[in-house]
Amino acid sequence: MASPEPRIRAELPDHAPHILVVDDDRRVRELLSRYLYEQGFRVTAAGNVEEARQRAQSFVFDALVLDVMMPGENGFDYARQVRETSRVPILMLTARSNPNDRVMGLEIGADDYLPKPFEPRELILRLNNIIKRRPDGAPPSDRTIATVTFGPFSYRIDRGELRRDEETIRITDREREILTILAEAKGGNVDRDVLAGNGGLAAERTIDVQINRLRRKTEVDPGNPLFLQTVRGIGYRLAID
C-alpha cells in the first residue's frame, strides 16, 4: 500500500461509518487507520483475531477490513465466525495472488476482496460500495443507538463518544474501552480483572491510573467522585442516571 498524502481533517460527524481494521502488520494498520480517518471514517484497529473479538464486544462496526494471513487464527477463521451471527460488510485483504483465496473468502461470506499492494483510493471505493450494499438496507446512522447518561455527561456506546451537553470530550482508546465496559454494566459493579482484560487491554495495575484520568475529565472533585465510583474489594461502577 502506497503512503497517502497526509491532510488535516475536521472533527468527524456522528454518522461517520466506523471501520474495524484487522492486520498483524503494524505499519499497514497505522497507514490504513490514518488514511481511512482522513477520508471520513472512524477507525478501530486490531493486530490479531483475539483483539478483534474484544473490539467487537465494545463497538458496533459498519464494515470490517480483514487481513487473511495472520499468525494463529487467520482472517478466514474470523470471517467465518462473524458470519455466524452478523451480516456486517467484510472486505478481505491478502498479499497472496492465489485465486483460490478469493473464492474461499467469497464462499465464507466476504463481500469483497482486495490483493496487496493496493491503491488507497481503490480501497475507499470498494469499502463505500459494500457499505451501501448493506444487507439490511439501512444506512449506519439509522441503527439503534445505545447511550447512557450520568450528570451532564452522555456516553454513546456504539461510537465510543463522550459528551458534556453538546461538547465532545476527548478520551483515549484505553479510556474508551473502560468506559464502554462500565456503561454496558448499566450501573452494576465491574470487577477489576474485567476492566483489565487481556490482549489489547492494559494490565490490571494500570486501572487506577486510567480511572483517575477519566475522573479528571468527568468529575468536579476527582478525589470525591460522584460518577466513577470505587467499589471497595471489587472494582468500579458508573453511576448512570
Tell me: do 30 and 122 sit in the same domain: yes
* Region for 74 from its dihedrals, namely left if φ exceeds 0, alpha if ψ lies in -120 to 50, beta otherwise: beta
Tell me: do 138 and 180 sit in the same domain: no
- Residue 98's pLDDT is 63
> Residue 102 sits in which domain range?
18-142
Which residues in 88-225 belong to E strands, given as ranges?
90-94, 112-115, 147-150, 153-156, 161-164, 167-169, 190-191
Contact between 75 and 101 (Cβ < 8 Å) = no
How far CA 178 is from CA of 18, 57, 105, 240, in Å, comes to: 19, 12, 34, 15
Residue with cell 454496558: 184
Tell me: do 129 and 192 sit in the same domain: no
Q: Residue 146, exposed/middle/buried by CB under 10 A (0-12, 13-18, 19+)?
A: middle
* CATH number, position 160: 1.10.10.10
- Residue 205's pLDDT is 64
Residue 131, amino acid: I
Tell me: do 57 and 167 sit in the same domain: no
Residue with cell 487506577: 208
Contact between 231 and 237 (Cβ < 8 Å) = yes
**Final residue belonging to a domain, choices 89, 122, 142:** 142
Tell me: do 51 and 94 sit in the same domain: yes
The H or E element that residue 179 is part of is: helix 173-184
List the one residue out of 62, 114, 119 whose CA is nearest residue 91: 114
Contact between 152 and 164 (Cβ < 8 Å) = yes
* CATH number, position 24: 3.40.50.2300
Residue at 106 is within a domain: yes
- Residue 227's pLDDT is 93
Q: Tell me: the pLDDT tens digits for 191-230? A: 877 776 543 344 556 788 888 999 999 999 988 999 999 9
- Residue 96's pLDDT is 62
- Residue 218's pLDDT is 92
- Residue 145's pLDDT is 47
- Residue 143's pLDDT is 42
Q: Tell me: the pLDDT tens digits for 158-183? A: 778 899 887 888 888 778 888 888 88
Tell me: do 200 and 106 sit in the same domain: no
Our CA angle for 33, 39, 45, nearest 5°, is 20
Low-confidence ranges of the chain (pLDDT < 50): 2-10, 136-145, 198-202
Tell me: do 116 and 160 sit in the same domain: no
Tell me: do 152 and 138 sit in the same domain: no
- Residue 99's pLDDT is 66
- Residue 199's pLDDT is 39
The residues near 113 (Cβ < 8 Å, ≥ 6 apart) are: 91, 92, 94, 101, 102, 105, 106
**Residues across the chain:** 241
**Final residue belonging to a domain, choices 95, 122, 142:** 142
End-to-end CA distance of the chain: 47
**Final residue belonging to a domain, choices 83, 110, 142:** 142
